[in-house]
A and B are shown apart, each in its own frame.
Chain A
Amino acid sequence: MPKLQLYCSVLSPYARKVRIVLAEKQIPHEFIEISASAPGSPVPKINPLGKVPVMVVDDETVLYDSGVIAEYLDMLVPAPSLLPAGGMERVLVRRWDALGQGICDAAVAIAHERNRSVEAQRSPELMAKQRIKVENGLAAADRDIGDREWCYGNALSLGDISLVMAMGWVTQRLPEIEWHRNLPRLAAYRARLEERASFRATANPNLTAALAALK
């Protein structure tokens, strides 16, 4: 097994995706808790895009973003398989992954906007636009998953992991979106998945403490 170092923050939803993959596959690794944007953060030296998660393999190969890291881990430790081997099946799971990522990107954009230190720099129009993406994305997930247990096929895949990390982050950081009220079926799907050991181990039970620790 190569030496794996994961640089990320427990607050990052994209990092949680990678951490769930590591937990599902029980892959030993070193976890380095770090903020990408804190002054003096080493992250920009490792990943030129200055983002987490970033993974260093054998002190040498640098991998990003979360999707690429997940694909690498699935190749390294194939069981349980989180991505079909190829063809249209793989494309469809990656599309689910893209939906989860897209929902999360929109949610993170809202939070960034809100966190702009100068209040006048926050754009209500932008936040409204991103909120529509979050809501439409969740509604589409609800419609397409329906009453099925998994978003694709008969087992957990990277698609489920991305969707649940996005839903978890929206619920915790943008509680006013109250999506679970309108989409109880999707909320039940999420609740069931959040019960898995890998999801529980990577959830942020105490957000306030985690945020405070960063300061």
Chain B
Amino acid sequence: MPKITLLGGNASPFTRKVRIVLAEKNIAYEQIKAATAGEDNPVIPVNPLGKIPTIIIDGQNSLYDSSVIAEYLDTIAPVPLLLPPPGLDRVEVKRWESLGDGICDAGVALMGERRRTVETERSQEFIARQYNKFERGIAVAAKELGDRQWCHGNAFTLADVALVTAIDYIEFRFPELDWRKRYPNLDAYQARLTKRPAFASTLPSD
């Protein structure tokens, strides 16, 4: 097994996706909680985009973004398999992943807006657009999940990793949205998945 170094902190939802995948597959790794915000972003030398998560393999090659890293980990450690082989099932799992990631993108954009130090630089219009994205995103996820046990098919996949990551991130940063009350099926689903050690041990934190 290659030696894996993960750059990314525990508040980053995209980094959590990768941590869940690593834990599900029981892959040992070293985590460096790189802060990307400062002047000297330490991620840039290994990822020109300066974003987390980024992984370094055997101290040499780097990979990003979270979706590419997940695919890589599924290749080197296929059990449990999180992505069906190329075909329609795989595309559907990735569409779920894209929904989860899109909800997180909106959340991360909103946090960026909140963190603008100059108050006049905040745009209410932009904020409203991002809220709409995750409101609609969660509503569609709840509807498509219905009473099923997993997002896709009869097994745990990357789709579930991405969806739980997204809804947990929303709860972590925007508790006022209270999706649990509004979507009891998501609440039950999240509670069930959180019993998995890979999820319980990676809950978002600052």
Contact = CB atoms under 8 A, between A and B. Distances in A.
Interface of A: 37, 44, 48-51, 61-65, 67-68, 71-72, 75, 85-88, 90-91, 94-95, 97-99, 101-103, 106, 116-118, 120-123, 126, 132-133, 136-137, 139-140
Interface string B25-52: 0000000000000000000100011110
Contacts of B59: none
B13 interface: no
9 contacts: A61-B92, A65-B98, A90-B71, A91-B71, A91-B75, A95-B68, A102-B51, A133-B50, A140-B48
A12 to B, nearest CB: 15
A124 to B, nearest CB: 9
Contact of A63 (B51, B95, B129, B132): B95
Give the secondary structure class of B's interface. Answer: helix
Given A44-B136, A88-B75, A136-B50, A75 B91 contact: yes
Contacts, number: 116
A1 B92 CA distance: 18
Find the residue from B48, B91, B98, B123 having the highest chain A CB count within 10 A.
B48
Interface string B118-137: 10111101100100110011
Interface residues of B, number: 45
B49 A102 contact: yes
Contact of B133 (A50, A62, A102): A50
A143 B206 CA distance: 36
